[in-house]
Structure 1
Amino acid sequence: MSDPEDSITQVDTFIAPPCLGQIRVLYQDSDILLIDKPSGLLSLSGKNPLNFDSVHYRLVQDFPTATLLHRLDFGTSGIMLVALNKTVNGLLTKQFQARTVEKRYTALLHGHLTDDSGVINLPIAKDVDNFPLQKICHSTGKLAISEYRVLERLTEPFATRVEFTPVSGRTHQLRIHSQQLGHSILGCDLYGGVGEKITDNDYALHHIRLMLHATRLGFDHPITGEHIDWICKCPF
């Protein structure tokens, strides 16, 4: 997940590999789109001209007025909300700012969690010496709260399927909070767990993709007022 407030000032040397996955439209009307973003696709085009391919770049080919209300990390797949005009963008932005938009994520975490549910309340700040990493910082970090509950404990791979409910939306929040639990998200190349032992059976899965998917989004339609609660099935 990514925080629009966290603007990038450092030079980004990352070059995204080609993404063959396609954006799937889940819902469409004259005001909004709900889409399923593939893993391995940037939400917004990068400053490097080689990173032009993105969710926004692809959408504006067919929807020239499309604007993203929020972002998902490069490796994260799942549901995103898109505004199709300025009025709707403004109305939905207010819902995000008021934290009335309901978000759920599904993740595979390495190992077995002891607790069936919990809350992680650890502030997050930019790690200015290790861009693009974030870090836990109690002095300068922004409020970051993630609720979680265990859905399933697996043996092959040795992992736990978890549902996350982020109360806030900081950059890399679920990834770094998972690391702080001692159970990093499988496939995470930035916040791997210290001392985690990855078995041969886990190895391939650990490197396929980031095992994090935006599963559910709930909000009030900005024009009709109808409450929309959409589920985007997890692919793993």
Structure 2
Amino acid sequence: MSEAPTHSPQPPGPQATRVAVPDGLTVLHADDALLVFDKPAGLLAVPGRGPDKQDCLSARAQAAYPDALVVHRLDMATSGIVLMARGIEAQRHLSLCFEKRRTHKRYEAVVAGDLPNPLPDNGWNSIDLPLIVDWLARPRSIVSHEIGKPSLTHWRIADAPPPGSGMTRLDLHPVTGRSHQLRVHLQAIGHPIVGDPLYASPEQEALADRLLLHARRLDIEHPVTGAMMRFEAPCPF
């Protein structure tokens, strides 16, 4: 495969704002129907089980925007773009965009090992391996050709690493959105994400103080205007 699917979205319009809400959560865009945040690594996207897991992006967002509703989520260890809807109609529209794959997502990651691109002109490679949650070792997921759900990830080199670094920076385009998809797919080809406590070796995990995975870009239809909009959050590592 030489190129991943692309859209021709419009950048956020003049109604977009960049403000700080309580606890330093960064808002990339805010209007009457749509909120877009840059989630820091280490913050839950939604509440977890127990009183010590109630601080999360959705709770912080709702403190500033009481009508904010969850649409999708990122792993706690992953940083980057998360959007929320303002009101049930916007939530339904945005959720359908994710369900029907009318979104275009790009991530950036640093993986362990030197991973050359076998395709000319840094074309897009594919990892097509079915995934299923490992119920005996949750929250881990595993590759299962017997009962796994179809899962597809495209990757290419994002930047040339320093010689001898033993790491590779990748540009990732997940077509499907399975639990831990990027983390499991990259482990399956022998290059787990650096800093990953679930899928990397202890030595590979110790190379960074966080999971080096960031949701860098999201293209999606605006729930009111229907225009394709593009949101970007610079990679912090």
Task: Please state which band the TM-score falls in when normalised by the shorter chain.
Answer: 0.7 to 0.9
Unmatched 5+ residue regions in structure 1?
1-20
1:171 aligns with 2:172: no
CA distance in 2, matches of 1:66, 1:130: 33
Could you give the per-residue CA deviations for residues 62-113 of structure 1, whole angstroms, max 9, x where no partner exists? Answer: 1112112111001100011110110100111111111011100000011111
Match of 2:105? 103
What's the secondary structure of 1:90's corresponding residue? helix
Hey, what does 2:156 align to over in structure 1? 149
Which residue among 85, 88, 97 is the counterpart of 1:86? 88
Cα pair 1:112 1:153 within 8 Å, conserved: no
Task: For residue 153 of structure 1, report the CA deviation from its aligned partner.
Answer: 3.1
CA-atom RMSD in angstroms: 1.9
Q: Distance in 1 between matches of 2:215 and 2:98?
A: 16
Please say if residues 154 and 160 of structure 1, whose CA atoms lie closer than 8 Å, have aligned partners that are also in contact.
Answer: yes
1:146 alignment partner, SS class: strand
Contact persistence 1:153–1:159 (CA under 8 A)? no
| Distance (Å, rounded) in 2 between the aligned partners of 1:57 and 1:147 | 33
Runs of 4+ in 1 over 4 A off after TM superposition: none
SS in 2 for 1:234: coil
Contact residue 108 and residue 161 of structure 1 kept, 8 A: yes
1:189-208 alignment, distance < 5 Å:
189-192=197-200, 203=206, 206-208=207-209
1:55 is matched with 57
CA distance in 1, matches of 2:30, 2:145: 42
Distance 2:37 2:174 in 1: 20
User: Which whole-Å CA distance do the structure 1 matches of 2:94 and 2:133 have between them?
Assistant: 27
Distance (whole Å) between structure 2 residues aligned to residue 95 and residue 234 of structure 1:
24
Number of equivalent positions = 210
Q: For residue 41 of structure 1, report the CA deviation from its aligned partner.
A: 0.4
AA at the equivalent of 1:133: R
Q: Distance in 1 between matches of 2:127 and 2:226?
A: 32
Cα offset, 1:139, TM superposition:
1.1
1:151 CA displacement: 1.4
Q: Please, which moves more after superposition, 112-121 or 35-44?
A: 112-121
1:227 Cα offset (Å): 1.3
In the alignment, structure 1 residue 234 sits paired with structure 2 residue 217: no
- Aligned-pair distance for 1:48? 1.4
* TM superposition score normalised by structure 1: 0.84
Deviation (angstroms), 1:22: 3.2
Q: Distance in 1 between matches of 2:44 and 2:166?
A: 29
The residue aligned with 2:128 is 121
TM-score by length of 2: 0.84
The alpha-carbon deviation at position 158 of structure 1 amounts to 2.4
Could you tell me how far apart the structure 2 residues matched to 1:128 and 1:102 are? 29
Partner AA of 2:128 in structure 1: N
Q: How far is 1:23 from its partner? A: 1.7
Provide the C-alpha distance between the structure 2 equivalents of 1:139 and 1:23, rounded to a whole number of angstroms: 41
Q: State whether structure 2 residue 137 is matched by structure 1 residue 135.
A: no
Counterparts in 2 of 1:17-96, with a 5 A limit?
22-96=24-98
Q: Partners in 1 of 2:148 and 2:197 — Cα distance?
A: 22
| Residues 22, 37 of structure 1: 8 Å contact kept | no
Gaps of 5+ in 2: 1-22
SS of the aligned residue for 2:186 comes to: helix
Question: What does the per-residue CA deviation read over 1:159-208, in whole Å, with 9 as the maximum and x for residues that have no partner?
Answer: 11101100000110000011011111011000015xx965xxx94xx231
Amino acid at match of 2:198: L
> Is it true that 1:223 corresponds to 2:224 in the alignment?
yes
